[in-house]
Copies of this chain bind each other. A is one copy, B any other.
Amino acid sequence: MSAARKTIRLPQTLHMHRGGELKQVQLAYESWGELNERGDNAVLIFTGLSPSAHVTSSPEDPSPGWWEEMVGPSRPIDTNRYYVICFNSLGSCFGSTGPDTCIPGTDQPYRLSFPVLTVEDIAQSAYMALPCLGIWKLHSIVGPSMGGMSALAFAMMFPGYSDNLVLISSAPRATPFAIALRSLQREIIRSDPDWHGGNYPLGEGPIMGMRLARKLGMISYRSAGEWQQRFGRERIAEERKSGDPFCIDFEVESYLEAHAAKFTGQFDPNCYLYLSRAMDLFDAAEHGGSVAAGLGRVDVKRALVMGVETDFLFPLAQQREIAEGLRRDDREVSFEALDSIQGHDSFLADMDRFRPVIADFFD
């Protein structure tokens, strides 16, 4: 744990969106820049499923963050101008309360006794934490992927709290195709005998299940076109082959293997299951009877909604639907469809296309 990571204890019990409650909730966070005197320069960033609160480097933690090129001094979200905060999502495993943390007053982790997690709970917990940081209003809420769902939930639940809203490669609700992919990832993890019904020793557990789920994740995060360009039918060198009749043969298989190896051991499997399902459960229509009515609750001055054509997990049509739903006569709503070939992950991979759009919005 780096010196950049700080922790807030929520002052009240968190009543969960689908029932149940959490007491003594902790949220890990990092922040960059300074809150100005008027208190109107705070930018709240929600994360995708797997990142920590370490969005970008700082003197306290010089390691590169997950959105290093986007956030920092003189970067598109300029920490010389803005006070930027990111919480590790409720339910995640990088310092915040989640299935891997202990039930207060016990030495037993929640595991599957953790209540059903929703992105509304992620938004609610952030909302409850902000006053502890002296924040009573936001300049902007920004969220890519699952973070966009959390940001949208926040904006629907607390209209008027933020002047600006930036939703990137996100969705007002999951498609059945995205649900199928995530449901299968969860089943792969749960089918690993080492999952033990959620009762694995923390830090160990279903390593193979997590590896395979991560590979399926990578397949859903990128695009066929990108891989055609990058890998085609390239083979790995003969000397790297194991000789096993089904060993890694193509470069694309080696690429997936490397990503899977990097991921496992880093992320708690039960946390993964809860966060993954939270994305399936999110539906803007629950906030008003229809997606349009849910989006109608949002009260911001400006909004930017963006995505890419090659994203099949959070398809562009869903970004268009959000943008249409946010449009008002007195509101500036931009919709940006980018040409990136890296699929859903483009907001992390194609910085040359994403940076200028975000920079323009914040300028």
Contact = CB atoms under 8 A, between A and B. Distances in A.
Interface of A: 112, 116, 173-177, 179-181, 183-184, 186-188, 190-193, 208, 212, 215-216, 218-219, 223-224, 227-228, 230-233, 245-246, 249-253, 256, 273, 277, 280, 283, 312, 315
Given A176-B228, A179-B250, 11 more contacts: A176-B227, A176-B232, A176-B250, A177-B252, A179-B233, A180-B215, A180-B227, A184-B256, A188-B188, A216-B216, A224-B315
A186 B231 CA distance: 20
Nearest to A245: B112
Contacts of A180: 215, 218-219, 227, 252-253, 256
Contacts of A277: 246
A2 to B, nearest CB: 32
Contacts of A219: 177, 180-181, 184
A83 B249 CA distance: 40
Chain multiplicity (copies):
2
Contact of A227 (B177, B186, B188, B231): B177
B215 A177 contact: no
Nearest to A189: B246
A224 B177 contact: yes
Contacts of A256: 180, 183-184
Contacts of A173: 233
B273 A246 contact: yes
Given A193-B193, A208-B191, A231 B184 contact: no
Contacts of A283: 233
A186, A215, A223: which has the most chain B beta carbons within 10 Å? A215
